[in-house]
Amino acid sequence: MVTVYHDNPDRQVTLTHYFMLHNQPKMVLKRHDQRTLRFDLAPDANINVPESWHMHSVTITIDSSDRIRQLWMEYKDGQPGKSVEIVYSRVK
């Protein structure tokens, strides 16, 4: 899986997540503060939410200069499914 961050025509921070299920959910930045970025599925994401299994949102939290967490929320059959947490820690 690969996630690419970019801007969209409205100058919003956007990401495209190239998912293992061969879909590419596009998400836009909805909320942020000094430590947290929250991305939600974009209205023009080209994902059939009721039928498509996909990643629907991600929250990125910067815990410290040595640790970043991502909390991904999947949707399946139009309903929230599992969440997946990924933690990146700097090795010193």
pLDDT in tens, 57-75: 999 999 999 999 999 999 9
Torsion region of 56: left, alpha or beta (phi above 0 gives left; psi -120 to 50 gives alpha): alpha
Among 56, 44, 36, smallest CA distance to 9 is for 44
Indicate the average pLDDT of the chain. Answer: 91
The first and second tokens of residue 85, run together, are 């947490």
Is the distance from CB of 55 to CB of 74 less than 8 angstroms? yes
Residue positions counted in the chain: 92
What is the model's pTM?
A: 0.88
Residue 92 has pLDDT above 80, yes or no: yes
Q: Given a cut of 80, is residue 19 above it in pLDDT?
A: no
